[in-house]
């Protein structure tokens, strides 16, 4: 009983300190990190976590040992997954476990007492709440042996404007307290004991960077139109409610891809209907008049959920994933669609399905939307004003079936991450092969062009939403192929808009056409030389 009381007291302390961080000093936490903390508090309040801990104590463990055991379970899950995204979620859970252990030991969180001004924090790993403990005033950067750009700590760091670099193995053994270091968050580099010339080279880079940031900010409200009058639409890829603030920051015209699986992956238990609805409604409200395209759950393969036992598959990327799961186990997908429909009451709902391979799969998925709309109608729920149902073109088989989608789908979005993985038969998550082939190769570009033409002939709107769309040279090639809607990470909007404003789309189209008549492994060098020659802003 005593141990259970200690555990409860420590849990209450952790929850209180998180709530305090959220409600406390308003100047310290921006809207963005507040939302991260709220997600985090949600994890801390998760009954699943508490039940597991109490279970340990009731089985005779001390409170500390019970936390250690749960942390061990988290680590085991963490080590079993290859998905970097999920690994990050496990780091977040570890952050909570660590806070709880500190609370049990009577230590109140990390503090910034001993930290000098202009400090760069170097650690093995760091959770988002720990980062907030340190605060942004004196902390000028974070370098981690572990931890990557997709984690919550990285999101909080970005929100606080603190540069952060992860994946620096062996760092702790090479650096001493008090060393002067240069941290380059943009390139993901850390220079130890930097000297004169290196420091001045970095100062120049800093000046250049602020000049560029100022330029992107100036471009924010300028529509992306090429010099020959082609109007482009640049959209944002997002995955959390807090990503939506990038809309205002970047001037993107909407969200071209909202990856809904994020909410499922950060949660310890299956998100309930209400919490799904709440998230989607928040996103729509924050986006205002700007369109949002929700993508239904893209789980499976490596993206396993902590609370769903996954079967090991020989080839996860080719396995039971995305809409395949949704169609075989429609309850989960129907639930999600119900949440989306109810969140979009009185507005337009745009929803698309991932990894559809055949037209029949699309029809079946669309039918689930219709069934949910009927369900809502029968139960007197208010409906969206309009529902547009689209499909991601990620499987080559579907890419060749675009003409058959006429009259069935309302729009298409090419996911180049997966489409290129399947096109080149090269695992996007395997660094040995993921960079081996280039989307700027003639076969890939001819393929994309063909998809665009087929879509146009079928009267279907088409966009590109893979990571490649956010890189200026690739964006130039896609524009040259006739694409006019590109969706990308927030960091791509400024550079791509700057490029679009500088190019002549017709001129680029004929240049790329010529390049496609040759057969180099990639047109990257030629296209770069062409763009530089024309003075395009790459």
Active-site residue set? 152, 465
Does residue 418 bind ligand PEP (CB under 6 A)?
yes
| Dihedral over alpha carbons 516, 517, 518, 523 (to 10 degrees) | -10
Cβ atoms of residues 180 and 131 within 8 Å: no
Residue 71 vs 321, nearer CB to ligand PEP: 321
Does residue 316 bind Mg ion (CB under 5 A)?
no
Q: Shortest distance, CB of residue 186 to ligand PEP, whole angstroms?
A: 22
> Which of ligand PEP, Mg ion, none has residue 130 at its interface (CB below 5 to 8 Å by kind)?
none
Contacts of 535 (CB under 8 A, 6+ apart): 502
* Segment lying near Mg ion (by CB under 5 A), choices 246-254, 365-373, 411-419, 428-436: 411-419
Q: Shortest distance, CB of residue 421 to ligand PEP, whole angstroms?
A: 8
Phi-psi region of 353 (alpha: psi -120 to 50; beta: other; left: phi over 0): beta
> Which of Mg ion, ligand PEP, none has residue 166 at its interface (CB below 5 to 8 Å by kind)?
none
Residue 226 vs 441, nearer CB to ligand PEP: 441
What are the φ and ψ backbone dihedral angles of 97, each rounded to 5 degrees?
A: -60, -45
Stretch 346-405 residues interacting with ligand PEP (CB under 6 A): 394
Report, in angstroms and rounded to the nearest whole number, the Rg of the chain calculated over CA atoms. Answer: 24
Residue 342 vs 421, nearer CB to ligand PEP: 421
Within 10 A of 213 (CB to CB), how many other CB atoms are there? 11
Distances (CA, A) of 198 to 21, 171, 195, 456: 38, 19, 6, 52
The alpha carbon of 107 is separated from its chain's Cα centroid by a whole number of angstroms, namely 34
Residue 253 vs 298, nearer CB to ligand PEP: 298
**Alpha-carbon distance 147 to 84, whole Å?**
9
Does residue 263 bind ligand PEP (CB under 6 A)?
no
Q: Is the dihedral of CA 484, 490, 434, 189 positive or negative?
A: positive
Q: Shortest distance, CB of residue 418 to Mg ion, whole angstroms?
A: 4
- Which of 416, 441, 463, 479 lies at the binding interface for ligand PEP (CB under 6 A)? 416
Stretch 414-433 residues interacting with Mg ion (CB under 5 A): 415, 418
Tokens describing residue 78: 């963490």
Q: Which stretches of 124-251 are assigned E, i.e. beta strand?
A: 139-144, 164-165, 181-184, 189-192, 233-238
> Which of ligand PEP, Mg ion, none has residue 19 at its interface (CB below 5 to 8 Å by kind)?
none
Residue 168 vs 257, nearer CB to ligand PEP: 257
Tokens describing residue 57: 């104590």
| Dihedral over alpha carbons 353, 355, 361, 366 (to 10 degrees) | 0
Stretch 394-413 residues interacting with ligand PEP (CB under 6 A): 394
- Which of 417, 434, 522, 528 lies at the binding interface for ligand PEP (CB under 6 A)? 417
Q: Vertex 496, ends 438 and 417: CA angle to 5°?
A: 35
Distances (CA, A) of 214 to 218, 430, 444, 470, 495: 6, 36, 35, 19, 12
**CA-wise closest residue to 84 among 159, 147, 164:** 147
The contact mask relative to ligand PEP for 219-258 (x = CB under 6 A, - = no) is --------------------------------------x-
Q: Shortest distance, CB of residue 69 to ligand PEP, whole angstroms?
A: 34
Using DSSP, state whether 388 is helix, strand or coil: strand
Site residue total, ligand PEP (CB under 6 A): 10
Within 10 A of 64 (CB to CB), how many other CB atoms are there? 17
Residue 13 vs 463, nearer CB to ligand PEP: 463
Stretch 102-131 residues interacting with ligand PEP (CB under 6 A): none
Cβ atoms of residues 381 and 345 within 8 Å: yes
Does residue 259 bind ligand PEP (CB under 6 A)?
yes
> Which of ligand PEP, Mg ion, none has residue 326 at its interface (CB below 5 to 8 Å by kind)?
none
Residue 259 vs 338, nearer CB to ligand PEP: 259
Does residue 470 bind ligand PEP (CB under 6 A)?
no
**Alpha-carbon distance 484 to 467, whole Å?**
16
Q: Shortest distance, CB of residue 395 to Mg ion, whole angstroms?
A: 10
Report the interface residues with ligand PEP, using CB under 6 A: 257, 259, 298, 394, 415-418, 465-466
Report the interface residues with Mg ion, using CB under 5 A: 415, 418
């Amino acid at each position: 009983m005593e141990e259970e009381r200690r555990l409860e007291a420590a849990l209450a302390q952790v929850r209180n300190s998180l709530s305090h961080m959220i409600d406390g000093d308003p100047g310290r936490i921006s809207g963005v990190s507040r939302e991260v903390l709220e997600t985090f508090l949600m994890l801390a309040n998760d009954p699943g976590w508490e039940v597991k801990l109490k279970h340990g104590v009731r089985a005779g463990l001390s409170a500390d040992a019970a936390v250690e055991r749960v942390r061990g379970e988290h680590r085991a899950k963490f080590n079993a997954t290859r998905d970097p995204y999920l690994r990050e979620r496990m780091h977040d859970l570890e952050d909570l476990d660590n806070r709880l252990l500190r609370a049990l030991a009577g230590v109140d969180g990390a503090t910034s007492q001993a930290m000098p001004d202009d400090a760069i924090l170097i650690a093995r790993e760091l959770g988002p709440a720990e980062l907030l403990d340190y605060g942004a005033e004196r902390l000028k950067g974070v370098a981690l042996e572990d931890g990557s750009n997709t984690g919550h700590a990285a999101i909080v760091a970005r929100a606080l404007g603190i540069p952060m670099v992860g994946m620096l193995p062996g760092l702790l053994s090479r650096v001493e307290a008090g060393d002067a270091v240069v941290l380059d968050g943009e390139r993901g580099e850390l220079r130890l004991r930097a000297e004169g010339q290196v420091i001045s080279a970095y100062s120049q880079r800093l000046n250049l960077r602020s000049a560029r940031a100022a330029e992107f900010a100036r471009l924010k409200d300028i529509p992306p139109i090429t010099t020959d009058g082609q109007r482009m639409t640049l959209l944002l890829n997002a995955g959390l409610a807090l990503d939506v603030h990038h809309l205002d920051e970047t001037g993107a015209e909407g969200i071209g891809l909202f990856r809904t699986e994020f909410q499922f992956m950060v949660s310890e238990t299956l998100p309930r209907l209400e919490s799904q609805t709440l998230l989607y409604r928040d996103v729509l409200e924050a986006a205002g008049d700007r369109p949002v395209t929700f993508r239904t759950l893209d789980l499976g393969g490596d993206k396993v959920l902590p609370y769903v036992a996954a079967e090991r598959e020989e080839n996860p990327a080719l396995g039971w994933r995305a809409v395949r799961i949704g169609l075989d186990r429609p309850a989960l997908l129907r639930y999600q669609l119900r949440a989306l429909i109810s969140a979009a009451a009185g507005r337009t709902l745009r929803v698309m399905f991932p990894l559809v391979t055949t037209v029949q799969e699309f029809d079946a998925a669309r039918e689930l939307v219709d069934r949910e709309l009927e369900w809502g109608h029968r139960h007197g729920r208010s409906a969206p004003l309009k529902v547009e149902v689209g499909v991601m073109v990620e499987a080559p088989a579907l890419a060749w079936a675009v003409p058959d989608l006429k009259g069935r789908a309302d729009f298409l979005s090419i996911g180049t991450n997966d489409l290129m993985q399947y096109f080149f038969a090269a695992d996007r998550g395997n660094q040995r092969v993921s960079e081996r082939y280039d989307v700027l190769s003639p076969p890939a570009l001819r393929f994309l062009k063909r998809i665009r033409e087929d879509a146009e002939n079928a009267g279907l709107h088409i966009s590109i939403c893979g990571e490649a769309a956010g890189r200026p040279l690739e964006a130039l090639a896609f524009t040259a192929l006739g694409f006019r809607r590109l969706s990308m990470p927030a960091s791509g909007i400024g550079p791509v808009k700057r490029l679009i404003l500088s190019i002549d789309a017709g001129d680029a189209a004929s240049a790329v056409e010529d390049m496609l008549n040759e057969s180099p492994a990639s047109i990257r060098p030629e296209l770069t030389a062409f763009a530089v020659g024309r003075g395009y802003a790459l």
